[in-house]
Structure 1
Amino acid sequence: MEQLLHHLRNLGFTEMEAKVMVELAGRGPSSGYEVAKSLGVSRSNVYTTLQRLSQQGFLHSSQGEPVRYSMLKTEELTHMISGQVRESLSFVESQMPRSVTDQPPFYSVEGDDKILAALTRELERAEREIVIDVCHEEASLLRSELERAEGRGVKLLWSTDGGETSLSRHMLWPGWDSSQMEPSECAGRKFSFVIDRTWSMLGMRGDTCSSVAMVTVHPVMTELLLSHFTQEMVLYEMENDIGNELAERYGSHYEQIYNKYVGMDSITGNSEKGSVVQESGEVEDV
């Protein structure tokens, strides 16, 4: 009973309104006198509450004396309330003043719950395109949200590490072999999202480190993430087309190229360690 009253109050009803509604739902059609007597409160307060709820459409009232009030069917009540809430939320979202100067170009989000909440919120708002670079662990956490987006006609462009998932579209592309990295570098799995080419999240999540992400609407960061995605796509296509020629000229994992730029000492310019590119999997429908 108290929990029901609590949720009715959360929906905007006063304490008295919530009690009157629950009482009528349990009693059926009743007069103001009967409701007041059952609740043990003053009749004037109950009469005022009944009239207000009736005017708002939450109660039916009969003709004659005494006037008898009855609740809407539960499904009618919840449908009416949800419609009002959606209308109010839509109005607030469209009309709330926005100060562009107060919007930080970059801000951080820490913790799994906050990161997933931010991603879920933006994925639900996506209208045209979602570009995703994730490990399969993170992909599985957002599977339902991404499937709903795809169901709305949003285009999904994927990069995953090839883990087991039932997501309908994914692309396996070259990635660093984590077995060749230092333990501290393997602590987290990197991920990035670009939504409608305006909103971006770039972060790291792992079992031995705190989850942290950076969110931005800065166009330069969006451009960089999309450029990285495009370059990896092009490299993947080239490997499938002329991979044997590349391997013959530069080595099976292109060490001669990668060693120039990966693991370089920032002062001497000398490569301190090699890097390995995993073999690509097969591209499914993208």
Structure 2
Amino acid sequence: MKPEIIITLKNLGFTEYEAKAYLALLEKSPLSGYGVALNSGVPRSKIYEVLDGMAQNGEVLISYGAPVLYAPLPPKELIERRRNKTEENFDAACNSLEDFSSRVEDRDNIWNISGYDEIINKAREIINAATESLIIEIWKEDFEKINQALTNAVKRKIKVSIAAYEDIELRNAEVYKVPEEYQIGGDLGRSISICADGKEAMTGVVSLEIESLAATSKHPGLTIPVSQLIKRSIFIAKNLE
């Protein structure tokens, strides 16, 4: 067997034993396992394991009889199969790495959001991405902007709990009115805070129109304090009802 052909097959992902067995079958087939071992130089103790593995990959054909005989997949079909498998692996690796990179980047950064509409749109995105729970601290005027997104979340069986600064109604959600003396904002403007699944949060001031400002992140440095502040408001509202 020519060493350069074995090297080429190894570059395609074959082991040395697989390359030798395949070339032996190209030279002469069909062959029994013993015949493949004899012609390829692959040890008899390994040949059936090698051939069975190649058969599972569709690279060797088997004829069950007495004895069992083996034949190679034609070279063009073999190369096409390997090419497709390699492309699938590259695509899977690309998608996995991009997803991992995106999640790491999102988790490690705290992002600023400017403008009322942008903040409300981000609130909707967080609500739509929730899979288990949502806790929110909000004024009625701003609640109306995200009411539909919250209604859809409830329909998805997301647990929604709201610390409301005014009379707010949301069917099948837990809504608690925060006493005025415990409300955050006041003269500083209306505030909004939201946390989804304990993993993504946003908090900010939304009464300044285009100058409204908020911060959002999946970083624990923001998600933990925001969720704790909302839970504190809910606790106060529940116990002072």
> Which whole-Å CA distance do the structure 2 matches of 1:139 and 1:157 have between them?
13
Matches within 5 A, 1:1-286: 96-97=98-99, 98=101, 102-103=105-106, 104-163=108-167, 165-168=168-171, 169=173, 170-176=175-181, 186-206=187-207, 210-239=211-240
**How far apart in 2 are the matches of 1:199 and 1:237?**
24
| Larger RCO (CA under 8 A, 6+ residues apart) | 2
Secondary structure of the residue aligned to 2:198 is coil
**Greater per-residue helix proportion:** 2
Question: TM (normalized to structure 2)?
Answer: 0.51
Question: Is the 2:130–2:197 Cα contact (8 Å) retained in structure 1?
Answer: yes
Question: Is the contact between residue 176 and residue 234 of structure 2 (CA under 8 Å) also seen in structure 1?
Answer: no
Distance 1:156 1:146 in 2: 8
Deviations 1:88-123 (A, max 9, x none): xxxx98773425664442110011222122222221
Q: Secondary structure at the match of 2:157?
A: coil
> Residues 176 and 238 of structure 2 are in contact (CA less than 8 Å); yes or no, is this contact kept in structure 1?
no
How far off is 1:209 after superposition? Answer: 7.0
Once superposed, what is the RMSD of the aligned Cα atoms? 3.0
Change over 3 Å in CA distance of 1:94–1:126 after alignment to 2: farther
Matched residue SS, 1:123: helix
Tell me the equivalent position of 1:57.
Answer: none
- Separation of aligned partners in 2, 1:94 and 1:151: 31
Listed as ranges, the gaps of 5+ residues in structure 2 are: 1-93
Aligned residues with identical type, % of pairs? 17
Write the deviation string for residues 190-225 of structure 1: whole angstroms up to 9, x where unpaired: 110001110000011115772111001121322222
> Retained in 2: the 8 A contact 1:187–1:207?
no
Q: How many residues align?
A: 144
Change (3 A) 1:220 1:102: closer
Gaps of 5+ in 1: 1-91, 240-279, 281-286
Structure with the bigger percentage of strand: 2
Larger radius of gyration: 2
Aligned residue for 2:176, secondary structure, equals: coil
Using structure 1 for the length normalisation, give the TM-score: 0.44
